[in-house]
A and B are shown apart, each in its own frame.
Chain A
């Protein structure tokens, strides 16, 4: 890999041992990726704080504290995704009912461990959809280093920024990243035209559609036509499913996403094939996600990706004046949690017997409340949690927010999705 003189000097240790280690990581990573050079990040970095991709290059908290003392800071705007090492609840933890997470000492220690990163300049958004509330987004063409399945297509497709799945301490500290894959023009052109031949209406229609496309195209870049005018919540769900049911990091929606004003602009002469997604494809995914037989539900989880403030408004309206028979968790980002508090939505949810939480999810916590049958409106959380329970079998239902809340109120699963 080609390195500039400055990059070589960092690799030789001229800027200290941590910079040298960070550069060694980028060089080994870049060479394994077949990257020809590094690129300067002119956009943003998103990190799962304290989570190191490669333990051999880990930077310890003591080392970060030393850097802070020397006045060093992250070189580029750096945002915190949800903590995963370990995952813990940021708001509402007192009511979560999980022994570890409702222990104030556990939370204090975990928050304290993040402080050196915050002192380095990391902005503590603590959410998988930090991009909805961060107030500072990359613009078209800017190079980034983000993390999180659902966030990667938001950066590449919706914003037209350029990122692989590699945000971490090292990229934020040096402000550099290997220039390959999504950073290069030729890899961002669509190769497959995806015609949506069913009208997408509900939020979960977009979730199911994203999953079906992901399964069909893997790592390819699709151009999606016929998907209507999705809401923000629907786009978040579609992105999450595209990069869970498959590995779609980038897509175009001609007329909607910034790099594709037209179908021709999406392909730039790179067209290879065409597929159709029908209601039958959505049904197949829906059946795959309804991995349960027992109708009695005892845990309902909403908020993967984290609910935005309007999702919380809708959920609170459905819960107002009702009483839940099951445990109900609604997970959001810490910023929206504060707004929900101000709007009285937290109280409405709690009066109905639910809990509003922020900053995590069962998958990131690696636990759920004790339960046998759960329901969720998230294809992603649904599909990973059964893996977490393996070899024990988890019964998990999948349906709309309305169906999930109905299950929380009645204790029974019923669905009329078609």
Chain B
């Protein structure tokens, strides 16, 4: 059995609840409106490293939002059952808040370490939205 390493990040609750799953990490900011497709459950921004990559059931980790208030469409993914299991972001604003309020999925931000430096795509992540705690489980070796 592969060994694992556990890292705990502490942040601020945006939306409560618990979720866990595999991390999908975007090193680039995420853009909404027409550059996210809620039916397909993926970003459709050309040139974006995650263009076309499904975020369904993933713990979606990203630095910041950018662009239109249509960022809320990351939240309307719940209407198509393509939504991420949780959101973790370095710094947000009301765009990220609205997406989370629509989706009502656990969301944590303002963490004590930059999640983009700690979490890698494929890590297993447990999010406790109420406590603002993110547990990152990495396979070692």
**Binary interface profile of B, 86-104, with partner A (CB < 8 Å = 1, else 0)?**
0000010111011011100
How many angstroms from the CA of A264 to the CA of B44 in the assembled complex? 41
Write the nearest CB–CB distance from A240 to chain B, whole angstroms: 10
Known: A218-B63, A246-B66, A363-B33. A181 touches B93 (CB 8 A): yes
A149 contacts B98, C-beta separation under 8 Å: no
Chain B interface: which of A28-36, A62-70, A318-326, A397-405? A28-36
Chain A interface: which of B1-9, B18-26, B45-53, B119-127? B45-53
How many angstroms from the CA of A53 to the CA of B52 in the assembled complex? 25
Q: Which of A29, A33, A363 contacts B34 (CB 8 A)?
A: A363
**Binary interface profile of B, 78-116, with partner A (CB < 8 Å = 1, else 0)?**
000000000000010111011011100001000000000
A387 contacts B67, C-beta separation under 8 Å: no
B66 contacts A249, C-beta separation under 8 Å: no
Most buried by B among A32, A33, A53, A384: A32
Interface size on A, residues (CB 8 A): 36
B65 contacts A247, C-beta separation under 8 Å: yes
Write the nearest CB–CB distance from A184 to chain B, whole angstroms: 13
Hey, which chain A residues are within 8 Å of B33, CB to CB?
363, 384, 387
Would you call A386 an interface residue if the criterion is a C-beta within 8 Å of the partner chain's C-beta atoms?
yes
Would you call A391 an interface residue if the criterion is a C-beta within 8 Å of the partner chain's C-beta atoms?
yes
How many angstroms from the CA of A288 to the CA of B46 in the assembled complex? 10
Interface size on B, residues (CB 8 A): 34
B101 contacts A54, C-beta separation under 8 Å: yes
Hey, which chain B residues are within 8 Å of A142, CB to CB?
none
Write the nearest CB–CB distance from B131 to chain A, whole angstroms: 15
Would you call B72 an interface residue if the criterion is a C-beta within 8 Å of the partner chain's C-beta atoms?
yes
Most buried by A among B46, B51, B94: B94
Hey, which chain A residues are within 8 Å of B68, CB to CB?
149, 244, 384
Q: Which of A54, A149, A245, A387 contacts B44 (CB 8 A)?
A: A387
**Binary interface profile of A, 237-272, with partner B (CB < 8 Å = 1, else 0)?**
000000111110100000000000000000000000
How many angstroms from the CA of A391 to the CA of B40 in the assembled complex? 10
A219 contacts B34, C-beta separation under 8 Å: no
A166 contacts B94, C-beta separation under 8 Å: yes
Q: Which of B12, B69, B91 contacts A149 (CB 8 A)?
A: B69
B93 contacts A387, C-beta separation under 8 Å: no
Main secondary structure, interface of B, reads mixed
How many angstroms from the CA of A245 to the CA of B29 in the assembled complex? 10
How many angstroms from the CA of A391 to the CA of B14 in the assembled complex? 33
Would you call A291 an interface residue if the criterion is a C-beta within 8 Å of the partner chain's C-beta atoms?
yes
How many angstroms from the CA of A214 to the CA of B29 in the assembled complex? 11
Known: A181-B93, A244-B66, A390-B44. A32 touches B34 (CB 8 A): no
A165 contacts B34, C-beta separation under 8 Å: no
Would you call A133 an interface residue if the criterion is a C-beta within 8 Å of the partner chain's C-beta atoms?
no
B100 contacts A32, C-beta separation under 8 Å: yes
Write the nearest CB–CB distance from B124 to chain A, whole angstroms: 26
A391 contacts B52, C-beta separation under 8 Å: yes
Would you call A408 an interface residue if the criterion is a C-beta within 8 Å of the partner chain's C-beta atoms?
no
Write the nearest CB–CB distance from B26 to chain A, whole angstroms: 13
Would you call A388 an interface residue if the criterion is a C-beta within 8 Å of the partner chain's C-beta atoms?
yes
> What are 25 contact pairs spanning A and B, CB under 8 A?
A28-B101, A29-B98, A32-B101, A34-B12, A53-B98, A53-B101, A55-B102, A147-B69, A148-B69, A165-B95, A166-B94, A166-B98, A218-B63, A218-B91, A219-B64, A244-B68, A245-B66, A247-B93, A247-B95, A249-B93, A363-B33, A384-B67, A384-B68, A387-B34, A390-B51
Taking Cβ atoms with an 8 Å cutoff, the residues of A that contact B are 28-29, 32-34, 53-56, 147-149, 164-166, 181, 214, 218-219, 243-247, 249, 288, 291, 363, 383-388, 390-391
Besides A53-B69, A247-B93, A387-B44, 19 more A-B contacts (Cβ < 8 Å) are A32-B14, A32-B97, A32-B101, A53-B98, A148-B69, A149-B68, A214-B66, A243-B66, A245-B66, A363-B33, A363-B34, A384-B33, A386-B44, A387-B33, A387-B34, A388-B34, A390-B37, A390-B44, A390-B52
Can you list the 10 inter-chain pairs with the closest CB atoms, starting with the nearest? A387-B35, A390-B44, A388-B34, A387-B44, A384-B34, A387-B34, A247-B66, A218-B64, A386-B46, A164-B94
